[in-house]
Amino acid sequence: MKRFLSIALTVGFAVSAFSQNLWSDNFNSYTTGNLGTQGGWERFGGSNSMAKVANIDTDHGKSFQFASTAANADGVFIFHDTKWSTRTSSNGIFVAEFDVYTGSASAEIQFYDVDSDYYVIADLYMSPVNGVFLADQDDFDNGETGIELPLAVTANTWYKVKFTYDVMGTGEMTVTINDVTYGPYEKMSGWFPTEVDFVASGTNNSGFDNLKISAVETLLAVSDASGKSVVSVYPNPATDVINIKSSKKIVDVTLFDLSGKVAKKSSETTFNIENLAKGSYVVKINYADGSTESKKVIKK
């Protein structure tokens, strides 16, 4: 059994009408104290007392929380079947929504393809100290930290997260944290997200709540959910300049490379990209109504 601690630890989308809710858990029906096997959860590593059902705050009621200690150097993994095998075959996009409590050190969640020797499809690591990273099996095998997301998180704070992975299509992934979407990131398709793991090592008091796992056929941008904008990014591919036009008022535009690093940011809607390296980039558009939209562009 292969399970991986994050490298960093050791060193807005809306679903379409064609969606299927596979499994959810909010821990409210559980008995406070050791999680044990309540709700079908299982543990690998650590001890029974390191995984709790706790009242972190009144807004969330009962939640999952680690009580991992400094002696837990090898890590503890609390895991559950995502019920991905029960999806309708046409729903080939995996969507996981959950609340994350960062704790004082870090919070980490992983999605595995269990039948492929526990292949790590995605590892989202959120630390108020080290930053936020999205990694996968290839990153771990190469000793890399993965993609660093351009945001900072606060200790002992709840964040709303949505993760998407196009399993049967392009392989693209997105991460939405508190309504800000990062990505899409190009990954390999075809891995089946059959298991979700909460991960901790050393002293850790992070938590999770309100999990919802879905399988959907298509994804719509956040802006589509409340009045679709008409946006164009051109020319695409481009050699020196790209232009952004939208039917909605644009506040600013940020250009990310595929590692998640900011290549350029401006309140202007014309970008000079002639000095950027050739390759794919993501244009993230922030609108005055608070919505966002992302488009992929290619620099020739």
Tokens of 84: 């991905």
85-90 mean pLDDT = 91
4-14 mean pLDDT = 47
CA distances from residue 300 to 83, 238, 280, 294 in whole angstroms, order as listed: 42, 6, 9, 19
What is the overall mean pLDDT for the chain? Answer: 87
Torsion of CA 40, 104, 134, 79, to 10 degrees: -10
Q: How confident is the model at residue 2 (pLDDT cuts 50, 70, 90)?
A: low
267-291 mean pLDDT = 85
74-84 mean pLDDT = 96
Reported as a single tens digit per residue, the pLDDT across 195-234 is: 999 999 999 999 999 999 999 987 653 334 344 456 778 8
- Find, among 74, 210, 183, the residue nearest to 122 by Cα: 183
For residue 184, whether the previous peptide bond is cis, meaning omega lies within 30 degrees of 0, is yes
In the chain, which segments carry CATH 2.60.40.1930?
229-299
- When mean pLDDT is compared across 32-36, 37-41, 195-199, 233-237, the lowest value belongs to 233-237
Please report the pLDDT score of residue 290 as a whole number. 76
Q: Does domain 229-299 have CATH number 3.90.1300.10?
A: no
Instruction: Determine the CATH number of domain 7-220.
Output: 2.60.120.560
- Find, among 4, 292, 262, the residue nearest to 141 by Cα: 4
Contact 41, 29 (CB under 8 A): no
Please report the pLDDT score of residue 6 as a whole number. 59
Q: What does the alpha-carbon distance between residue 271 and residue 254 come to, in Å, rounded to a whole number?
A: 10
100-116 burial, b at 16+ Cβ within 10 Å, e below that, comes to bbbbebbbbbbbbbbee
33-57 mean pLDDT = 97
Please report the pLDDT score of residue 235 as a whole number. 85
In the chain, which segments carry CATH 2.60.120.560?
7-220
Q: Does 103 score more than 90 pLDDT?
A: yes
- Find, among 241, 260, 2, the residue nearest to 125 by Cα: 260
Coil, helix or strand at residue 181: strand
Helix (H) or strand (E) segment spanning residue 138: helix 137-141
Return the residue matching tokens 């039948």.
115
Please report the pLDDT score of residue 291 as a whole number. 76
Reported as a single tens digit per residue, the pLDDT across 114-172 is: 999 999 999 999 999 999 999 999 999 999 889 999 889 999 999 999 999 999 888 99
